[in-house]
A and B are shown apart, each in its own frame.
Chain A
Amino acid sequence: MNTNALVVVLVAAIGGAWSLLAPDNALASLLLLVATGLAVTLRGVPRAVQSLTFVALTFLFTLVLRREPALNLVFFNPAFYGLLAVLLSSLLQPIPRWIKLLLSVSILFVSVPLVGFSNPFLFELGIQVGIFAALALGLNVVVGLAGLLDLGFAAFFAIGAYTWGIFGSGDPDGKYQSQASKFIHWFPVSGLDGNLLYLFIGIAIITAAITGVLIGLPALRLRGDYLAIVTLGLGEVVRVLANNLDHPLNITNGPQGITPVHRPSVDWLNSFTNFLGVEKVYGRPLDAAMTYNLFFYLLVLVVIGIVIIVNVRLSNSRFGRAWVAIREDEVAAKTMGIPLLWTKLLAFATGAAFSGTMGAVYAAKQTFVNPESFTLVQSIFFLAMVILGGMGSIGGAVVGAAAVTLLNLDILKNLSDYLNDMRQAGVTFLGYNFANLPSQLEPAKYERLVFGLILILMMIFRPEGLIPEKRHRLELEKE
């Protein structure tokens, strides 16, 4: 056994023992995080040792996270980032495939729900990451593979969300009538049954894809640069329509948005968790909110799984190659007999379909749809995910979505809370009294600054992204 392997095992063992003895100690988790890093970075660690370390670390991190009952934030929580790091590094390291599968399945389907029952924020985070990852994958087809800069991508998300929001809203008491019944007089006031969401996910795919074609038909005839501005304009048009189509016919309910939107029934999931004995472990049955958290988490996982498979199959198909050809050189691609408009339209429709799917899920999950969720900032947010991860790379899109969502939902928000606390306590740091900090300066409101910086720095220093696409990487190495 070589020394590097010994170091990894030793650090992991000390960290593990420490964290088992003192689970509240963040330093113990930090040591485990270091062990994860060492297992990835040190050279010559045998694969068997690496795999075993990852398995042990998964177990330990889950245990630590489970033991912290009042854990409301993942901000600065080494155990949370440890779990994330293990997931990521096990997927990227050259360890046997069945261990990769075992690790990711156990982290995604066991660790996260186990921790999530005591800390719902983790579910929330998982669901959001999943939704945005699907959107990033959709945009990845358009921007990453086909090289078409779409700045109005949130429009398709909106189409999906409104498709379910309009027909699946209302409540049985009749306090709120369903949105569809406001402009279709024979439509039931209580709206459609929540279980029809599954059908409407399919319908959302179709409506979003059709919208993609409709927007694409004029836009895709244009030269590259113009496309960006036209899609931006059309994205604004969709938002203005959503905002103003409450008259003459009340289709979208204007700026107030649509609420409540139905969710599918989760009785089957309840009986399943009871069967698994979750009730006994937690001493209480899961409440409705928690079951829905679990349900949407699982639903998003399933959808994202399908989206990834479709994406992989597509990018290796004839169409995928045609898209990359168009990205690299439009004129050459045309000369090779690729029908430009048709191929671009297909990319647009595919991307739109992915985002429409998640739009419907998002509407059901939030039980609320309003135009504010589909602004240009949102579109740029999706673009930042794709760019950060690496244009054209599937793993990159998922990692980018996770990083940007984490940044937005957790880190910036907590930084704001932290600064607020400092201001209220009047802490003095390096001669600066935080009580003087202007109240308008809230890091959570500065997401544009962060995304802008991400886009600029990535473009200057690492245009191929964090996890570059294989084709792209080969191309850059050649030069």
Chain B
Amino acid sequence: MSRASLFVPLGIFISILALGYVGFSLDARNQLPSALLNKPFPEFSATSLLQPDVKITKAELLGRPVLVNVWATWCPTCKSEHEQLMRIAAETDVLMVGVDYKDIPERAVQWLEQYGNPYDYVLDDRDGSLGIELGVYGAPETFLLNAAGEVVYKRVGDINVRIWENELLPRFQALDIKLHEQSGVDR
């Protein structure tokens, strides 16, 4: 037995350590990849939260890029990302759609009055059925759709400045979404 082969067990041990290190440092451990990625956004028909007699369907979302944000008043993380959503709404031309997920409509209306409404459409999904169509398992979750209505990006968790700069902004640019430069400088 050669001397070098004595180090084989040590090598195996180190590779197990490395595997564990990599495995446990993947921060996406509890984030599932969306089954919808690169697929068309599902057909739906939902009631508008602010105009309960109006139905909104997928047809309203076609023709330009859309940011679909799943939120609720019971979700503290949604509160923390709200300011960033307001900035995105003010600084870009993207169509913003909010899905009010498993929520009490009155509370949601009050929330939007109190903190501001970044959304062009707010869908009332009080029983969570639209959420199931979207593969939502918590809030907040955010989808970016291209003009053809295909999901090009999904984020599970809050939209913060880091996510905006590193993940959303490059995709907004790729989709030719207009940015208003004036306010874009001083976020």
Is the A/B pair a real complex?
A: no
